[in-house]
Every structure is written in C-alpha cells, then in structure tokens.
Amino acid sequence: MTLFRNRGRGMNIFLYGRVSTTDQDTGLQKQKLQAKYPEGVYREEKKSGTTTAGRGVLQLILDMIHEGDKLVVWKLDRLARNVLDLSKIVQELESKGATIEIIDQAIDTATASGRAFLQMLGVFAEFETNLRKERQLAGIAKAKADGKHLGRKAILSGTQKAEIKEKRAKGTSPTELAKEYGVSRASIYNIK
C-alpha cells in the first residue's frame, strides 16, 4: 500500500493523528478525521508533541503535500504545542499553496479568519504551556524550601540498611536478604 493516493488534479487530503506515548490510543482522532473526510488518507504516529523534531510521519506529509492539498488534524495540540513549530508548519504549507484544517476548533487556513484564529490559538496554547511549567517549578521550589523530600520514598530505613550490611558481612546471600526485607536483589546490592 502506498503512503498517499494520487487523486489526479483534485485536492489530496492528508489526515494526521498523533499521541505522545505508545500506551495512548489514536482511535478517537482517527474516527473524527475519517468521519469528516472519508476520502482522506490517514496516517498517525506516537511521538511527543513538544517539538516537531523526530516526527517522521508529519515530516513525510509536509514533504509530500502540494498546491491545493489540505492537512487535517483533530485538535491543534496534535500538530504543535508551541507557536514557533506551528508557525513553521503553517508557513511551509502556505509556501506550497496548501492549507490546514483543525476540526475541533473549526479552523481552516483557506480563509483569512481561519489563518488569524489559528495564530491566536497558537499563542494561547504556548502561553498555557509556559504557565503550567512555571506553576510546576514554583511548586517544586516551595516543596524544597519546606524541606519536603522530592522523588520516590526510600525503600529501606537507615537502620535496615545497617542490618543488611551486617548480615552480608556474615555471609547471608542477597537473595535471602531481598526476601527477608521485601525488596529486590538490586536494592540489596546497592547498599554500600
């Protein structure tokens, strides 16, 4: 099967779905995209959306798209999560005479209002991402200032570690100690 159909002189419609991790599902995106454009060619990938780098399917679509064609995504964040990447994609599509449509937000860059609205949404999406990062960093800084332990809770107490050292020195095997303390053998080996 070829990646894209050649529909002659007509417009080719490229449907793009993306999720960030392999345990996420693109089913809903595919359903929405194919419901609106059953004749479109659907392709998907499971890659982080924080950048367009390493997103081979998207890059292939951008390489293949020509004048009069359309790239369709379900939601803006499936395509780009920052204004710079979004601007690059839109600029590349415009330079080729192609358009983009975002179904969920009813945006189509074939219209002037669609282009303006897309740019505004991109700015707000990046602003929201930056605010989330700032709140996360502020929370971490506050937790550190309050003396809270960040990260995973210690599996063994200092007393337990001392006992394990003694028992290892007397010849108890790491497997036996792991069973006794309910931890992995790696945890036993990591005690110096």
102-105 contacts at long range (C-beta below 8 A, 24 or more positions apart): 102/72, 102/73, 102/74, 102/75, 102/76, 103/32, 103/33, 103/36, 103/72, 103/73, 103/74, 103/75, 104/32, 104/74, 104/75, 104/76, 105/75, 105/76
Quick check: is 48 catalytic? no
- As annotated, the active-site residues are 20
